[in-house]
Structure 1
Amino acid sequence: MRHRSLLCLLVAAAVTVSGCTVERHWGGSASTGAGGDGNAAAKIGLVTKTNTNPYFVELRNAASAAAQAQGADFVALAGQFDGDNDGQVRAIENLMQQGATTILITPNSSTGVLDAIDRARKAGIMVIALDTATDPASAVDATFATDNLAAGRQQGQYVKAALGGAAPKLIMIDGTAGSTVDTFRHNGFLEGIGLKDGDPAIVGREPANGDQSTAQQKMENLLQRSSDVDAVYTMNEPTARGAFAALQARGLHVVMGSIDGGCQGVENVRDGEYAATVMQFPRKMAQEGVHAAVEYAKTGKKPSGFIDTGSVVITDQPMPGVPSHDTRWGLQNCWGTK
């Protein structure tokens, strides 16, 4: 909190920042704008959705460590909550004023920060999306992220296999409407389980914005309408924990999957709270983003397109036809606190 308050005070005269967190202040004397002079130090700004979600904490910490290891300057900012587009816009403007050479961002909305990103790129700043793609993808120079459509498909394939031929009676706990992550994971899951939106097999669907308490409340509300359910999709592991609490209170046992691969989520799978999670690799996203930023400052070279950083099913109940690793492997490769 002390570091966060310090940066807010430092920049208050220039711009209002909506929720911020700091890992390192700028240093050195590198020039602003396009790289390529051979001597410039990378000034890297990271803008995440929030500074409290463990996933984004891991992304921030990994980026900070990679920047330090490569001699780059680093500042991390964040929105106050999942969906705080205005906060992210102000963060981008703040980083532009501070002389960032590259901005790494996990956009709250695929379209909510496009104007600010466009201004940054026109100023010669490379912008890379991490974790969450923009729409259109060409709004940024490159994207380092999980293939969320594939991750959702993996979850859906696993749940379908685990049902053992039983007809799905599905509840879907989605993320934040308008986010490409939410859309791709949702659509991928339906593809994997073999359903389409509007199918009567989907007995309930609610967004929870990635929040555990909201997910529990939404699941409780859905179960009041109908408790005849045998499968649950969750957009991420906090929503899975919330959904599990609501199901447990009613004594219901279902096949539930999730996506994230945090250490707590792997432990949840090991302990039987849900059957499987799809692990993604935020450290790799952050490290590759920082490496690209350093290369840009040195040579002006930019990455382009979508770079998939991978995903894998984690479960102790493997299913035929669904490649997976067990929770022992998961705990050796998870992100967050073990």
Structure 2
Amino acid sequence: MKKSLIRIFGVAFVALMVVFTLAGCGTTGLGTSDSGSGSKAEKKDPSKLNIGVSLSTLNNPFFVSVKKGITNITDKNNTQVEIFDAQNDAAKQSNDIEDMIQKKVDILIINPVDSSAITPAVKDANDAGIPVICVDRSSDGGEVLTIVASNSTKGGEMAAKYMLQKLGHNAKVAELQGIPGASATRERQKGFDGYAKSKLDIVTKQTANFDRAKGLSTTENILQANPNITGIFAQNDEMALGAVQAVKAAGKKILIVGFDGEDDGIKAVKAGQMAATVAQKPVEMGQLAVQAAYDHFTGKKVEAHIDSPLSLETTASLNK
């Protein structure tokens, strides 16, 4: 019995000494590291910041508007900013971000091409102690300071509800989907399909990569295989505008709903070529992202998700 007690006290003493030793080294291994996007930032004036930006593509007017929102703010505050066009290439985007990490930018603003493929780059930024802000699309992994985005799931629901209202129950419709792996693609599909279930007959869903030319060619194929569809939901305006061309060439009358509210999309809705678009505010998105960066470096709290508003713009509403 005495030997057992001695052994117990001995083990306890050794354990206690280990705790004190680790405490003296500055960590017990029970907390999180001070590095990464969640760390407390050194305070910096906007004029002293160097912001790195990676946008999925500048071949889409929506992201040109996001860029405009970013530069509107950075120019006014003399903030150094470097903007990279990933050209819808996930590998190029990762390489661009790695370059910015090596340049030791203060913060990264990223609009991912692919929400899964971007994860390693986000984690590398975390390891380098560089905060990350995502715009319009999220990262599936790593830590981000915040995501600035509209509620894409809600937007998909808005589109489905409008199509149901205009076309009626069990109308045959098609869905043009964005880049596989992009969070916006998943969320817009979730919202549209979820609301349309048992209400609309989605006869086909095909990928057109958020691209106008692919929207055109994909819609041509859809019309050949499904000549009786009465509606098309495109997950962005670029694909919707491609669908407009295909429908016109086929001599058909099909209700087309887009998503984004970019200038060309709004013009097409106003002209009656598209019936509606779920409109975002890309310039505001860019501005909100930069403001979140400024807030972080002035010690203000940054919410984990910053909402950008949505509105359904129809031919009727735009011609009031």
TM-score (norm 2): 0.82
Contact residue 281 and residue 309 of structure 2 kept, 8 A? yes
| Cross-structure match for 2:14 | none
Instruction: Give CA deviations for 1:283-304 in whole Å, capped at 9, x if unaligned.
Output: 22111111121232333x5524
1:48 matched to 2:48: no
Counterpart mapping for 1:16-27 below 5 A: none
Give the drift of 1:166: 4.4
**Against the structure 1 CA distance between its residues 117 and 316, is the aligned structure 2 distance closer, same or farther, given a 3 Å change threshold?**
same
For residues 270 and 179 of structure 2, the distance between their equivalents in structure 1, rounded to whole angstroms, comes to: 27
1:202 matched to 2:202: yes
**208-217 vs 138-147, which moves further:** 138-147
1:173 matched to 2:176: yes
1:191 matched to 2:194: yes
Give the drift of 1:178: 1.1
| Cross-structure match for 1:255 | 255
Return 5+ residue gaps in structure 1 as ranges: 1-32, 318-325, 330-338
- What is the SS of the residue equivalent to 2:113? coil
1:35 matched to 2:41: yes
1:68 matched to 2:79: no
**Against the structure 1 CA distance between its residues 38 and 270, is the aligned structure 2 distance closer, same or farther, given a 3 Å change threshold?**
closer
Which of 113, 119, 122 is matched with 1:117 structurally? 122
Contact residue 101 and residue 297 of structure 1 kept, 8 A? no
Give the drift of 1:188: 0.8
> Which amino acid letter does the alignment assign opposite residue 132 of structure 2?
V
Name the count of aligned residue pairs: 281
| Cross-structure match for 2:225 | 225
1:156 matched to 2:155: no
1:281 matched to 2:305: no
For residues 261 and 39 of structure 1, the distance between their equivalents in structure 2, rounded to whole angstroms, comes to: 34
**Against the structure 1 CA distance between its residues 64 and 39, is the aligned structure 2 distance closer, same or farther, given a 3 Å change threshold?**
closer
| Cross-structure match for 1:105 | 110
**Against the structure 1 CA distance between its residues 37 and 314, is the aligned structure 2 distance closer, same or farther, given a 3 Å change threshold?**
closer
Q: What fraction of aligned residue pairs are identical, expressed as a percent?
A: 27
**Against the structure 1 CA distance between its residues 38 and 167, is the aligned structure 2 distance closer, same or farther, given a 3 Å change threshold?**
closer
For residues 216 and 36 of structure 1, the distance between their equivalents in structure 2, rounded to whole angstroms, comes to: 49
Contact residue 272 and residue 315 of structure 2 kept, 8 A? no
For residues 288 and 263 of structure 2, the distance between their equivalents in structure 1, rounded to whole angstroms, comes to: 22
**57-66 vs 39-48, which moves further:** 39-48
For residues 39 and 154 of structure 1, the distance between their equivalents in structure 2, rounded to whole angstroms, comes to: 41
Contact residue 141 and residue 302 of structure 1 kept, 8 A? no
**Against the structure 1 CA distance between its residues 39 and 69, is the aligned structure 2 distance closer, same or farther, given a 3 Å change threshold?**
closer
Give the drift of 1:34: 6.6
| Cross-structure match for 1:292 | 292
For residues 52 and 93 of structure 2, the distance between their equivalents in structure 1, rounded to whole angstroms, comes to: 12
> Which amino acid letter does the alignment assign opposite residue 190 of structure 2?
N
1:128 matched to 2:133: yes
Instruction: Give CA deviations for 1:251-286 in whole Å, capped at 9, x if unaligned.
Output: 211222110111211110011111100110112211
Give the drift of 1:69: 1.3
**Against the structure 1 CA distance between its residues 220 and 106, is the aligned structure 2 distance closer, same or farther, given a 3 Å change threshold?**
same
- Structure having the higher Rg: 2
TM-score (norm 1): 0.78
Give the drift of 1:310: 1.1
Please give the root-mean-square deviation of Cα atoms over the aligned residues, in Å. 2.0
For residues 259 and 219 of structure 1, the distance between their equivalents in structure 2, rounded to whole angstroms, comes to: 16
Contact residue 36 and residue 296 of structure 1 kept, 8 A? no
Contact residue 126 and residue 143 of structure 2 kept, 8 A? no
Contact residue 155 and residue 192 of structure 1 kept, 8 A? no
For residues 203 and 259 of structure 2, the distance between their equivalents in structure 1, rounded to whole angstroms, comes to: 21
- What is the SS of the residue equivalent to 1:139? coil
For residues 118 and 294 of structure 1, the distance between their equivalents in structure 2, rounded to whole angstroms, comes to: 22
Give the drift of 1:54: 0.9
**Against the structure 1 CA distance between its residues 105 and 38, is the aligned structure 2 distance closer, same or farther, given a 3 Å change threshold?**
closer
Contact residue 79 and residue 85 of structure 1 kept, 8 A? yes
Contact residue 259 and residue 278 of structure 2 kept, 8 A? yes
Contact residue 159 and residue 257 of structure 2 kept, 8 A? yes
Contact residue 212 and residue 241 of structure 2 kept, 8 A? yes
For residues 246 and 221 of structure 2, the distance between their equivalents in structure 1, rounded to whole angstroms, comes to: 9
Which of 78, 84, 105 is matched with 2:85 structurally? 78
**Against the structure 1 CA distance between its residues 75 and 121, is the aligned structure 2 distance closer, same or farther, given a 3 Å change threshold?**
same
